[in-house]
Structure 1
């Protein structure tokens, strides 16, 4: 593979070296990892162990449309090539009582680092890394204690844990892997920090959450109180209609403290008369009346996807339009939408574009986005995905005369090499519009190449 990569000299020698080192290390790692998922099971007590490791190599040419990234030493790097890696062992302990439900707890540690130049947004630099806890929580499920409501109708948990609302449009990731943590692109940490408490209620077909969330310090240490209500239906409850309200009680970001957030959504809704068609839509309203932080912003999207189940390679096509409000300088309050703690569960979710979504400030604020996706599965273990984006300002920033930010194309392949090993690669190019050039103060198109391998046991 290392020799074959020489056909792409534009990626850069340092990046090719990173790819080869990542691949060599991964092979050594997968050969050495042997552990059972269930470590102990007796008298209602179950101990489970897990292990995940990831390696990624990324190269970006003409970062910020050629304006580059300023390093801590003051150097401007127009091209950034780096490698990321992490290991994440985990344990989960459960105790199923005969009449009082199930007690459980879990812990997950992440040791990660970034080598090379650091990412193309400047969130991490080379030679940065650390080990810390991603999850550390305890909880209780009702089991059959409340049998009239259903099994495990109540689930209470406290501590560092994962929590997502809907499609991760605004609440998905409690930790921003950046600075000393490294691994900004791989993003192995997802947990909300100590002080997080979640109460879940499942009385089919209704699901509800009450929560107190706390994000990590790189995500402004937000403390968020709120509730979520969903009606789940369809096959395996994959379709849902829901609403949520939340308030940011504390934050290091002055514009967030005191913010009220209202959310309405319909996800994965099927149309009986059109098999294969799914529809999704979501709306978010943000309001803050606190002195000096007045805010009135909104965002929404609508998406239609169609799966050709009876066609070779099972093609799936989708179109999504999303709009995130921008600030009107003629008012005292701000209209700029805050993307908060969005998640990224798949290609093309809420990091819109492997270049724009990862590294540009035009990601999910003051932007209107047309997105077309197409995916095929030529083999049971291989999925090919193509994505096209058109980005335009919602409101042109000061000094910008064009509303066209640019267009981006991403091509990705995912290969489940073994039941425990996923290998993914992607290439992308951002074609700068006049508005994007003026805003980012660059004049060139940007390109990216990404290679990752994730081992899970």
Structure 2
């Protein structure tokens, strides 16, 4: 009896999943996720202190360490800032060594564990300075100088990736990349493999003006390159440009009860995102002349003005964002916004954002002409119920947003609902979850424009890359996606994440998407199996691997006149900081 398409997809995917698990077990130091494998931007769920060799640290020591590290639960993980503040921990008189480990929780947030070795005797103040410039000890690199008041730290980071496609764009790049200015000689039938690499060099500093007020700054340069036939071109190329270039001031105080009062102001080139990136994540574009399309080393906006106010578990931020887009696709979009996040109950978080686009040259397409993104307004509401740490428990989160425009009748909706459960009693501590997401398309029979504008959404496959392959065709507009996912933890530094996706179109009118898919004959967009894995050797050395197998749905198959092939891709990715 002939199997159905669904059975074929699931069967082939399960065989490949088993093969990959065997391969991973034979290659224990090389695993993966997507290019977001370094956890940057992930929400910090908790920060713990662990004393080495059975040492018994007092609550006074623990409080002093957390105050010096000053990375609070609810904030976004920033490796540069965490390493800067780690040097402040090392300056404490009773600390001999300090480091931290990082892992993900059941719902994908970050858990930081500070590993502290206590000193046998308090360090004299005269000997407290450390770093290459203080004592010539290159073993302390990238710390150049650190004392009680100042930190100067270098950044040397390499991201390298090998990526392979088999039958990219379902073997029909001639149709599915039509009109894309980056698609010079895109991958298609057969297999293509290429290599990407980038090196980032930078300097970051923090200086205390008073006990509560500090100034900070950072600057870096990235050189990136691609070699071999990549997704959109077979031209090898390299590019060097400025990445970070920012400065700011921060005022922080803590109450006797451990409460946090903080204000900060920042200006310059720096990465920025809101929550998990459903609306804002990609502050910078990669690919094109910049190369490194898949490893995404560039994250800094062209210009960011950011003010933030923290009161205990509540955060309010005001921002102005000019994303750093490619020349070929620069929409000249500017964004102004206000965002709030807060812990309103021990396990309940609330978030809300209001966003405006005062300037843009990006266009929306309709049967009657084009409309402009300029004047776009976004109202966004988020809710999350977090599982208790260390317990088998349920978690859930949701986000819903509405887009309108000051210049014409627009009503687009986007959002998701996700629920999961972690079972700590089972081997590998599995978490099982389901996410339903919907981003509306435009109904041409109404005078209102309803197609969701994805703006600058992005992130890893856990976030808003919905299907490692399918995202390159469908993205996050006029799509309904069902995601079935599990997180597995075979060892403390390992994480495996299998996913199964089902994609549907919200409307058959798909103007604004791929040109060949402008009018759909079915709402079935396809299915995809992903496997991601991550091995964190240490916070500054992470290995990432990913694979995806995608079968197009009837909507895509009919647009291709049933001349298609199923799409397979795989990548190996390394992030190394020195």
- TM-score normalised by the shorter chain: which range applies? 0.7 to 0.9
Partner residue in 2 for 1:26 = none
Partner residue in 1 for 2:567 = 446
Listed as ranges, the matches of 1:161-200 within 5 Å are 161-194=270-303, 196-200=304-308
Partner residue in 2 for 1:56 = 161
Give the CA deviation at 1:171: 1.0
Q: Tell me how far apart the structure 1 counterparts of residues 322 and 234 of structure 2 sit (CA, whole Å).
A: 26
> Residues 147 and 140 from structure 1, CA distance in 2 versus in 1: closer, same or farther, beyond 3 angstroms?
farther
Give the CA deviation at 1:394: 0.4
TM-score scaled by structure 1? 0.83
Give the CA deviation at 1:401: 2.1
Give the CA deviation at 1:156: 0.6
Listed as ranges, the matches of 1:50-449 within 5 Å are 50-68=155-173, 77-79=188-190, 80-98=192-210, 101-119=213-231, 122=232, 125-144=234-253, 151=260, 153-194=262-303, 196-218=304-326, 220-232=331-343, 240-254=349-363, 255-270=372-387, 275-290=392-407, 294-344=409-459, 346-357=460-471, 359-360=472-473, 362-397=474-509, 399-439=519-559, 442-449=563-570
> Residues 146 and 411 from structure 1, CA distance in 2 versus in 1: closer, same or farther, beyond 3 angstroms?
closer
Give the CA deviation at 1:271: 7.8
Give the CA deviation at 1:139: 0.5
> Residues 367 and 85 from structure 1, CA distance in 2 versus in 1: closer, same or farther, beyond 3 angstroms?
same
Query: Does the residue aligned with 1:379 lie in a helix, a strand or coil?
Result: coil
Q: Tell me how far apart the structure 2 counterparts of residues 414 and 145 of structure 1 sit (CA, whole Å).
A: 36
Q: Tell me how far apart the structure 1 counterparts of residues 210 and 520 of structure 2 sit (CA, whole Å).
A: 67
Q: Is contact 1:230-1:243 (8 Å) kept? A: yes
TM-score scaled by structure 2? 0.67
> Residues 319 and 76 from structure 1, CA distance in 2 versus in 1: closer, same or farther, beyond 3 angstroms?
closer
Calculate the aligned-residue CA RMSD, in Å.
2.9
Q: Tell me how far apart the structure 2 counterparts of residues 211 and 106 of structure 1 sit (CA, whole Å).
A: 19
Give the CA deviation at 1:145: 10
Query: Does the residue aligned with 1:353 lie in a helix, a strand or coil?
Result: coil
> Residues 234 and 270 from structure 1, CA distance in 2 versus in 1: closer, same or farther, beyond 3 angstroms?
farther
The unaligned stretches of length 5 or more in structure 1 are: 1-7, 9-21, 23-32
Partner residue in 1 for 2:69 = none
Partner residue in 2 for 1:29 = none
Give the CA deviation at 1:95: 1.1
Q: Is contact 2:187-2:230 (8 Å) kept? A: no
Give the CA deviation at 1:142: 1.1
Q: Tell me how far apart the structure 1 counterparts of residues 574 and 223 of structure 2 sit (CA, whole Å).
A: 16
Query: Does the residue aligned with 2:332 lie in a helix, a strand or coil?
Result: coil
> Residues 166 and 331 from structure 1, CA distance in 2 versus in 1: closer, same or farther, beyond 3 angstroms?
same
Give the CA deviation at 1:277: 1.1
Per-residue CA deviations over 1:15-58 (Å, capped at 9, x if unaligned) read xxxxxxx9xxxxxxxxxx97623211236221012222111111
Q: Tell me how far apart the structure 1 counterparts of residues 520 and 154 of structure 2 sit (CA, whole Å).
A: 53
> Residues 40 and 127 from structure 1, CA distance in 2 versus in 1: closer, same or farther, beyond 3 angstroms?
same
Give the CA deviation at 1:158: 0.5
Give the CA deviation at 1:412: 2.0
Which region of structure 1 is more displaced relative to structure 2, 295-304 or 100-109?
100-109
Query: Does the residue aligned with 2:246 lie in a helix, a strand or coil?
Result: strand
Rg larger in structure: 2
Q: Is contact 1:160-1:192 (8 Å) kept? A: yes
Partner residue in 1 for 2:151 = 46
Give the CA deviation at 1:416: 2.5
Give the CA deviation at 1:339: 1.1
> Residues 455 and 75 from structure 1, CA distance in 2 versus in 1: closer, same or farther, beyond 3 angstroms?
closer
Q: Tell me how far apart the structure 2 counterparts of residues 42 and 109 of structure 1 sit (CA, whole Å).
A: 26
Q: Tell me how far apart the structure 2 counterparts of residues 265 and 351 of structure 1 sit (CA, whole Å).
A: 19
Q: How many residues align?
A: 416
The unaligned stretches of length 5 or more in structure 2 are: 1-15, 17-29, 31-137, 364-371, 510-517
